[in-house]
Amino acid sequence: MPDRGGGPTGPRIRAGRPSRRVRTLLMTLGVLAVLGMTFTMFAGFWTDWLWYRSVHYSSVFTTTLSTKIGLFFVFGLLMALAVGFNIWLAHRMRPPLSAMSMEQQSLDRYRMGIAPYKTWLLLAVTSLVGLIAGASAAGQWRTWLMWVNGVPFHQKDPQFHLDVSFYAFDLPWYRFLLGFGFATAILCLIAAALTHYLYGGLRVTSPGARATAAATGHLSVLLGVFVALKAVAYWLDRYGLAVKSSDFKATGNWTGLRYVDANAYLPAKTILFCIAVICALLFFATLWRRTWQLPVIGFGLMVLSAILIGGLYPAIVQKFQVQPNEQAKEAPYVQKNLKATREAYGIDDTKVTEYPGKSTTSDKTKLRDQVDDTASIRIMDPNVVSPTFQQLQQIRNYYGFPTNLDVDRYPKDGKEQDTVIGLRELNLDGIPKNNWINDHFRYTHGYGAVAAKGTEADPEGRPVFTEKNLPSKGDLGTYEQRIYYGEKTDTYSIVGGPQKEIDYSDDEGEKTTSYTGKSGVNLDNPINRAAYAVAFNEPQILYSGAIGKGSRILYNRTPKDRVEAVAPWLTIDGDAYPAVVNHRIQWIVDAYTTTNGYPYASRTTLGDTTADSLTATNNSRAVVAQQNQVNYIRNSVKATVDAYTGEVKLYQWDTKDPVLKTWMKAFPGTVKARADISADLMAHLRYPQDLFKVQRELLTRYHVTDAQTFLSGSEVWEVPDDPTNDSGSAVPPYYLSMKMPDQSAQAFSLTTTFTPNGRDNLSAFMAVDSDPRATDYGKIRILKLPTSTTVDGPKQVQSQFNSEQDIAETISLLSRGHSKVEYGNLLTVPLDGGLLYAEPVYVRGGELKYPLLRKVLVTYEGKTAFEDTLDEALNKVFGVKGSTTPPDTGTTEPPGSGNPTVQQALQDAQKAFDAGQQALKEGPDWDAYAKAQKDLEDALKRAEDAQSKVDKTADRTSDKTSDRTSGNKN
């Protein structure tokens, strides 16, 4: 009978050890886990490479990757070698015999324990510090590329007379090297001290000397290196004062030297540099003297000097020299800051003109006619009418428009007109049934642009569309209407394979298409499919039958994401906007080059200065990298993204910008010349909003050029809050075709207003020429109002508007029931020495899901009108009718007043309201008041019903028109 316990007749099973089968299984699982992690890392790298190759910017990927790898290995190896060498050297210098003490006997156990593994332990320690150092260095790839490729600014700082490129490109790299040196010295010192202690070179409780001569010399040299690096830091700190940020009560955020910096800190840094050099030499001298007495004394002297010379002395200078006569002492340095800041932000050529704030013309007819000549006042607010576009031109639920539409210029009858435009993009939330095939294969793109006149409304208060229906037709001509890349397209699609895509639908059913562009990554290769299955965490990509020959995956589809990916060295404007260019829809993206190393120029945080009431409600309008602190910015690149192919093109816009030239050296061939911009594209470029917002924020203080005025703070302005929005955020700038007093014709401009610090009246009006075809493109003009004249600011105008009795009663009527009043953009226009305000007022009422233009507010020099149309409001304000012909809206009825039934009902409502108010005054007569309220309710109900019928009729007409035109597909 066999021995079950493992005798000579049977196999012996060793207790506690897994069987061979289990060990094989565990090894297999371990190998698979390693292979899985390796493939996951490979998938990320491979899909990135494929994407960059698909957009023809593979050089960006290879340059960035090779730079990161090079920095990782160079600095990781340097750190590992330095730490490893000092550990090896400390071990080699160990004493041959350890002292007989309890301390050393305890350490003997550790020495014996690690003896067999010394080599492996050394490799582990050096590898760990090398990996950490290498990863940190790889993150400095931008700093390295800017240092290697830096070009001169040909401008020198006023203190050290060095080219600005030293501060922008060189100093950041030197500071990184210094920081790396400090980290290396400290780690080497710690590693060497621990090794000496472990092997008896350093003793804490043992009798006799606390350190051997070898340990003393070794550690002294490392301390000397640390102190020498500190001397270098003191020297670089001298130059760092030119770009140092500090708080200055007279101006707030301050960059550059002040009186105490130039007269106390600067000499103190020089003295401390000399002391640190001497102290470092004393540490090195320990190699011969074998005593720490002099180095310790020198180090103590350096610390004491840092406290007294570097801290106490500047405080004394500030207290007893600067504060008693601060303005006189600081004025020369403030003057340098003024000049540098204005240059760094491109506001040095700002033209400030005194503006009276009051009209000088008594001829009202002439004034009324001047309005049409001065500005094309936009009554279609692109930030309000998006729901109107959505309801009237969405056509299908799986299309959608952005929350904020855009303003552009398109020709009409030989003249350019301000146009509100939006794209009918794909909205996955509106798909009838969401599943993987529908979301990623069948519903893949939007269709067509929708545009409307910015200065007109139809009789019902709707936009006057110049491009509409599906497929879109109108003034934009023929163009590729399919939109595969857009602001709302944030998921991937797989196109071009056996699975057909839904193009659009009409009465005859769904029209299908198949993507023929060359965008995206080909999925024919099984390795590619596996990589994307891992990258997108979607295994169906690997085995789905919907993917076959010709299938391509599209991702990174928003314009801002694509530009940021191909040019990671640019800061992207928050508002990409579409334009029909050369028969294609192109997204236009403004991009900036920035630095925070411009000497004496005050810093600003992009996220703070570009925030306004629009970014508060629509975060997609926020500038990319919004927390960047910068003190130099240029709109150096104009980029385009094709809405069908996704092709990204970068154009050099600012040909003088040294930062852009530096990046073009680092990434040759990625940026096209400005001359390559076509005339059609040039017609749609404009001055970017985020740059304008940064500049207007700086100009609240830096519009003055005199240091004494700047220091007094008497001329400080602020950007007013948006009076039409409850967010408490700044009013956004507005694009408007208008002319300033020194201009002979209207120009497409970007405008804003300023108010005095802490007050609501108007202090200045600012505009910049935004049409790049004009010779004055980018010229900033400021109309400065006299302090002796009080002109109402935007908040005061809105407040007066809301408090005026007749207007308030009308607003109350319009807001009855389920109606809601929405205020449009409050536009400001300089007119004959005064300032004209115009604001459209919309009503979203009853069953309507979108706002309609119902009234227009106009205010000029204390006179206010609140009428159905802009022309009527202008006529009432000036007391005369304009001699120009009102725009043709395609009907004999005045635009914006509604149909007769609605008009009659609103008139009855007004009569009932008046009767109710009169009843309250007489007695009050509560029976008469109750009857008036009942009449008012009935009239409002009739108005709502009549308007609803009109809207439904218009919707049916729009759908029929859409169905008829959809059959004319290309």
Query: What is the per-residue pLDDT across 169-223, written as a single tens digit (0 to 9) for each?
Result: 999 999 999 999 999 999 999 999 988 888 777 776 655 566 788 888 899 899 9
Q: Token pair for residue 455?
A: 């200065």
**Continuous segment of H or E residues that includes residue 71:** helix 58-92
Spans of the chain below 50 pLDDT: 1-15, 885-898, 953-970
Pairing of β 406-412 and β 747-756: unpaired
Distance CA 753, CA 763 (A): 8
Distance, CA of 219 to chain centre = 49
Q: What is the rounded (10 degree) CA torsion for 57, 62, 68, 73?
A: 180
Look at residue 954 in the predicted model and tell me its pLDDT.
44
Residue 834's contacts (CB-CB under 8 Å, 6 or more residues apart) are 356, 357, 358, 359, 791, 860, 861
Distance CA 686, CA 163 (A): 32
**DSSP tag of 672:** B
Q: Token pair for residue 235?
A: 């020297």
Phi, psi of 4 (to 5 degrees): -70, -15
Please report where in the chains the tokens 């004494």 appear, as a residue: 708
Look at residue 959 in the predicted model and tell me its pLDDT.
45
Distance CA 451, CA 476 (A): 9
Look at residue 930 in the predicted model and tell me its pLDDT.
67
Residue 897's contacts (CB-CB under 8 Å, 6 or more residues apart) are 459, 868, 869, 903
R_g (Cα) of the chain, nearest Å: 36
Please report where in the chains the tokens 């700086």 appear, as a residue: 698
| SS3 category, 645 | coil
Q: How would you label 401-418 residue by residue, b for 16+ Cβ within 10 Å and e otherwise?
A: bbbbbbbbbbeeeeebbb
Q: Token pair for residue 603?
A: 């810093």
Distance CA 619, CA 623 (A): 9
Distance CA 677, CA 693 (A): 26
Pairing of β 827-831 and β 780-784: unpaired
Distance CA 173, CA 155 (A): 20
223: closest CA among 235, 207, 211? 211
Q: Which amino acid is at 130?
A: G
pLDDT in tens, 716-774: 999 999 888 877 788 999 999 999 999 988 999 999 999 998 888 999 999 999 999 98
Partners of 417 in beta bridges? 410
- Angle (nearest 5°) at CA 702 between 698 and 704: 155
**Continuous segment of H or E residues that includes residue 797:** helix 794-803
Distance CA 737, CA 748 (A): 4
Distance CA 780, CA 616 (A): 26
| CB-CB contact of 928 with 915 (8 Å) | yes
> What does the longest C-alpha to C-alpha distance in the chain come to?
129
| CB-CB contact of 665 with 149 (8 Å) | yes
pLDDT in tens, 339-360: 999 999 999 999 999 999 888 8
